């Protein structure tokens, strides 16, 4: 595997997360009552999840073997989770703080602490999911190449 796909994958994954976070922040800022799941938000999340899945599957497809695919997916996911989670946390910090202030009296450290936990969980989930999806991409590409011609 060349070293080029992993940095490109990180950039793509961070961009996907930032787009989702921007839309979520806008929806939270515009909400009047308690936040509710809206179909537009659900569709954007589903599209982001699908786009991220494709990035990891392609990363696995480009890997030389299963181990390389898992490693590339996990490292890419961990890095994208750290950078992307931090970017998303900065984007949604204001609307989330306003929303929390509307409904609860919490200490000043609460929202930054919750967002720090969000970033940590983003790293772990992205690393695990990235490794699994890249491995799957490798397996799918290997299965497609090993089929006899029709």
The Cα–Cα gap between 75 and 14 comes to 14
Total domains in the fold of the chain: 1
| pLDDT tens digits along 17-29 | 999 999 888 888 8
pLDDT of residue 104: 85
Query: How does pLDDT run across 72-117, given as a tens digit for each residue?
Result: 999 999 999 999 999 999 999 999 998 888 888 889 899 999 999 9
Average pLDDT over residues 25-46: 80
CB atoms within 10 A of CB 113: 12
What token pair was written down for 34?
A: 């308690």
145 or 33, higher pLDDT: 33
pLDDT band at residue 1 under the 50/70/90 scheme: very low
Domain span holding position 38: 5-146
Closest CA to 6 of 54, 51, 58, 67: 58
CA distances to 39, 42, 43, 62, 129 from 122, in Å: 23, 19, 20, 24, 10
Nearest CA among 80, 59, 79, 64 for reference residue 137 = 59
Average pLDDT, the chain: 88
Which pair of tokens denotes residue 54?
């494709």
Q: What span, in angstroms and rounded, lies between the C-alpha atoms of 130 and 136? A: 10
Burial of 64-81, coded b for 16+ CB within 10 Å and e otherwise, reads eeeebbbbbbbbbbbbbb
């Amino acid at each position: 595997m060349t070293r080029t796909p992993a940095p490109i994958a990180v950039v793509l994954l961070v961009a996907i997360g930032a787009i989702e976070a921007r839309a979520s922040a806008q929806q939270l800022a515009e909400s009047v009552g308690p936040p509710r799941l809206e179909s537009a938000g659900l569709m954007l999340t589903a599209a982001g999840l699908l786009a991220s899945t494709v990035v990891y599957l392609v990363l696995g497809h480009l890997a030389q073997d299963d181990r390389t695919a898992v490693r590339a997916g996990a490292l890419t996911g961990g890095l994208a989770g750290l950078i992307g989670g931090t970017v998303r946390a900065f984007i949604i910090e204001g609307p989330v703080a306003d929303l929390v202030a509307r409904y609860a009296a919490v200490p000043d450290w609460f929202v930054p602490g919750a967002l720090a936990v969000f970033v940590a969980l983003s790293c772990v989930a992205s690393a695990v999911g990235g490794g699994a999806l890249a491995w799957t991409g490798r397996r799918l590409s290997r299965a497609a190449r090993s089929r006899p011609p029709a």
